Structure 1
């Protein structure tokens, strides 16, 4: 079940909110746990057992870590943390990477691993990272072990951010799990944020995504330079509004239930460097890798060679986290190289250059990165990149480009404006009364329009389900 469906909007969410606010305060976590498990089981059925097992194992490991620390047994606490991390990585590794590794080995003649055709559990990359951070936080003293199994289960299974993040660390949410305040203002803010995210997903991402699908399906001989760039621009818009829209919906749902989740995107396409881009894109993942991998490896407080290695490991992990395919590894290492070049050469120059130069530079290399990200087959990827850079005598423009550019121009222009903070800045300058009235009208209109699209449309993918 995804958020952008009539079933979720008008059945599941309505019943969940009725139940949540009908039960006493002390029973709300239990109610949330029940509806969250139902939400996950709706899409995964038997795989909900994996989530329950993960919850039980990390709950007991957290208690064990705290007990060992209280008794001065630091070695035992470290073993408990290591055991928890090993279990979570083994779980993620088996379901997400077994078939990938088996196929890779078989491609070079090594047949010791059979391809099992394992179904990837939805959201496993997100909830394993969340539970893994729990025992680490308890060991570091950043959080106390959760005594209530119900409360810990609520943290792991919380349906607003269960299947696509943002990745919430226990130390940031633990206090809210134990006690939170639900107000009319917070609920209204949640509704507003949810509908904004729904609009991003349904009205922009779904529409522009069809343009990318058209260009991705073309044979290399049918592509033109302008068409190839238009196609990858469409993918860049689709993935941003798809994922940031889903994150906004998660934040909005959290507020409706009294939670406050971290912001996952901060207008990344206005960045003036790749370094800045990654401070604004998928913030929860970047933060997780920095706190639980980069800094423990030594961060930048080490020799230059070791720092380069640390950065390599982080970006290789970032790439493979996104999917079990070699193009994702290449995508991660592509950013590793760009960030090294910026650190040693470009950043000083970019800071002195006009802002437009930084924006164009960043957008160029980000668009190339999305090409690597979107096309898993290396043969097709190579052909598409050749066309983008005008190699092989391909034409610059054709009738198909003119047709698609004309038809998608309105939504592309809306997307370009919506990817900047301009609209939010204008809204903040309105007086309170005007802002409230206009906000209510836009939210109602947005909900009605999204509903009409969902009822009538059939193209409604969610890109991050496979991650």
Structure 2
């Protein structure tokens, strides 16, 4: 079920009413309703893959209890690696099996005729990378004795399948989300209103910015061989705003929806395109995944404790694994490696933690140093996104070769380009609002600071008008559903 669909517009108020008016007196009933609603939400796409979520839930629930009952370190490690192997095994089969097999055959073409292995004709279950990492966080934290295993199977099932963030995150830690299912939840008017505002802003990002950028970005990338370098650069810019509006928009809707039900999820995006260096960008982009890799991979590898060679090795591992997490394609691995190269000078010069504050925190205008840092970081990010969006590595290299040619100096042009002028104005408006709200959890969180109520209502009505004005007649899937 898509957040930007008629089905969800009907589904959400029904679940909300049942949750607060029918099930509000009993915590277990509330949690059971969340499980049921989550299974309907996920099964709407393909009910067959519910078996994966249920099986993963049963495995990690059982292993969590078993970890509590044994003090033998050998048995505890066996249990931990059983959970890791099963969860990553499912992920490997559905997401990476064909990639590894095709890569092997490309390296050794003769092997394809001598063995009996064939690629699998299977569909990638939506959100498998997200809920797999979420359940793994539970098992690992229980193993580390940072979290008590739960005996409440319904609460644990709700944690694994919680529908607002099930499909595309944020990837919640068990230590944050699971305890919220144990506590009685009373309706909080201010939290719900705040959630509605975040849902509204998320829909604006998705429907107005991302979906309309997608129209132009898709055309330009799909017809790159016929277009000039300047037009391809424009298409890359459109994709840059498409992926941000799409993914951060999903996170906003997920976090806002969770607030309607009394839950608080972690912030997943913190205005990353206002970053002054790549290190700051990765502290602000897909925060739940970046911190997951930091805590469960980077630090166990030694983190920043060793010499410079170890730090560089660990950094490259994190970025390459992050790229591979996004998809079974060499494009994503190169994208991850490119970001590692961007990060490397900061690491070597020990400047990777120099921009921890909010840009221009005491001013409406950034300093020249911050401005140039922001522009250069954004430019590097745009070029990295080309590998993320391109069909394959050769496609990305061909686009880059055209961008770095004389045709870059020409005026961008293709049929229909004139329609993009209105979108550029919308992107500018979007950036202004994001800039004004960059100190908040989301851009329009503190519109309430506008003292006159009619002005606040006019602003919200304007956002709703833009959503209705620029909404496509058919729902467009979120980019990260494919991951």
State the TM-score, normalizing by the size of structure 1: 0.92
SS at match of 2:388: helix
Correspondence for 1:387: 402
More deviation in 222-231 or 260-269? Answer: 222-231
Q: CA deviation at 1:408?
A: 3.1
**Cα separation, 2, equivalents of 1:394 and 1:433:** 44
Correspondence for 2:391: 376
Alignment of 1:211-360 (within 5 A): 211-220=216-225, 222-345=226-349, 347=351, 354-360=369-375
Q: Which runs of 5+ in 1 are unaligned?
A: none
| C-alpha distance 97-370 of structure 1, shift in aligned 2 (>3 A) | same
More deviation in 36-45 or 354-363? Answer: 354-363
Alignment of 1:125-204 (within 5 A): 125-179=129-183, 180-204=185-209
Q: 1:274, 1:362 within 8 Å by CA — same for their partners in 2?
A: yes
After superposition, give the CA deviation of every residue in 1:131-177 in whole Å (9 maximum; x if it has no partner): 00101111212211010111100000000000000000101112101
**Cα separation, 2, equivalents of 1:157 and 1:270:** 33
Correspondence for 1:35: 37
Q: CA deviation at 1:424?
A: 7.0
Higher helix share: 1
Q: 1:390, 1:396 within 8 Å by CA — same for their partners in 2?
A: no
Correspondence for 2:26: 25
Q: 1:196, 1:443 within 8 Å by CA — same for their partners in 2?
A: no
Q: CA deviation at 1:434?
A: 2.6
Q: CA deviation at 1:343?
A: 1.7
SS at match of 1:151: helix
**Cα separation, 1, equivalents of 2:383 and 2:138:** 36
**Cα separation, 2, equivalents of 1:172 and 1:453:** 37
Q: 2:447, 2:456 within 8 Å by CA — same for their partners in 1?
A: no
| C-alpha distance 73-428 of structure 1, shift in aligned 2 (>3 A) | closer
| C-alpha distance 7-309 of structure 1, shift in aligned 2 (>3 A) | same
**Cα separation, 2, equivalents of 1:169 and 1:427:** 26
Alignment of 1:396-415 (within 5 A): 396-400=410-414, 403=418, 406-415=421-430
After superposition, give the CA deviation of every residue in 1:8-47 in whole Å (9 maximum; x if it has no partner): 11x1112111211111332100011011011111102111
**Cα separation, 1, equivalents of 2:15 and 2:270:** 30
Q: 2:271, 2:438 within 8 Å by CA — same for their partners in 1?
A: no
**Cα separation, 2, equivalents of 1:263 and 1:236:** 20
Q: CA deviation at 1:433?
A: 7.2
**Cα separation, 1, equivalents of 2:65 and 2:394:** 50
Q: 1:237, 1:415 within 8 Å by CA — same for their partners in 2?
A: no
Correspondence for 1:121: 125
1:63 pairs with 65, 70, 75, which one? 65
Correspondence for 2:89: 90
**Cα separation, 2, equivalents of 1:12 and 1:429:** 28
SS at match of 2:250: helix
Q: 1:273, 1:350 within 8 Å by CA — same for their partners in 2?
A: no
* Number of residue-to-residue matches in the alignment: 460
Q: 2:134, 2:172 within 8 Å by CA — same for their partners in 1?
A: yes
SS at match of 1:354: helix
Q: Which runs of 5+ in 2 are unaligned?
A: 356-366
| C-alpha distance 65-435 of structure 1, shift in aligned 2 (>3 A) | farther
